[in-house]
Amino acid sequence: VEVPCANVAAMVTSFCARHTVTPDDVWTLFHSYSFDFSVWEMWGALATGGCLVVVPSHVASSPRATVDLLVREKATVVSIVPSVFRHVVTAAGKKEEPRPESVRRIIFGGESVDAGDIRRWRETVSRDCEFVNTYGITETTVFVTSRVLTPEEIDAPASTGFDRDLGRPLGGWRIAVLNEHARPVGPGETGEIWVAGAGVAAGYLGLPELTAERFRTLTLPPDGPRRYYRSGDLATRTADDVFCFVGRADD
């Protein structure tokens, strides 16, 4: 996927405008360079003057070693996939071991979040940590939407599926939920997510036919012609433009 440097700059600027970071933050780089989450981990830290801790692969694969690193480095911003977070929570909650209470923000991406795992972190590690759920695609430069998960919804008995609320797009990004004819669906109706704006990639290197299939110029109200990426993800849209994830179009 060809992602221009300007896209990365726009993503970092927009995300950090919504979720404030400082030069005092200590970030972790857990993910492989081949995974788009790493682009955020690296440039989010470096572009804002923070400290970036590169996590060795043997540490990233061990929940206990991961917790020890978070404690030792006094990490404050952690980006993680929910399935890994589950094991880290278990290791972090052991009473006889130091806990990573310095972590002030955990950013989820790539998978569905389990509210029970977040509750366990709040009960055993820290209630002061902020949890951010994201929706993103490599072809639209890591993130499309983000939202802070509130303590009220995390602690609610019926919190299963709460993470399907994608929230709103980042500044400079736009989501359209379209039917099979590439026309907008009404509030509450299911359609496919198409993404326009500052994060849309140039295309697929050496694959012009696939690029033409997935990246298309559409004219949708109230805008003029814009280039969109067709995600293959299904969602509904509320009247005030909050998006709820439904699933994959090819499932």
**pTM for this predicted structure:** 0.94
Read off the pLDDT of residues 149-168 as tens digits, 9 standing for 90 and up.
999 889 887 655 677 889 88
- The pLDDT value given to residue 160: 58
Could you give the CA distance from residue 223 to residue 136 in angstroms, rounded to a whole number?
A: 22
Mean pLDDT, the chain cut into blocks of 10 residues (251 residues total): 97 97 98 95 98 97 97 98 96 88 97 93 96 97 96 78 83 96 94 98 98 97 93 91 88 70
- The pLDDT value given to residue 124: 95
The domains located in the chain, with CATH, are: 5-168 (3.40.50.12780), 171-248 (2.30.38.10)
CA atoms within 13 A on the CB side of 48: 26
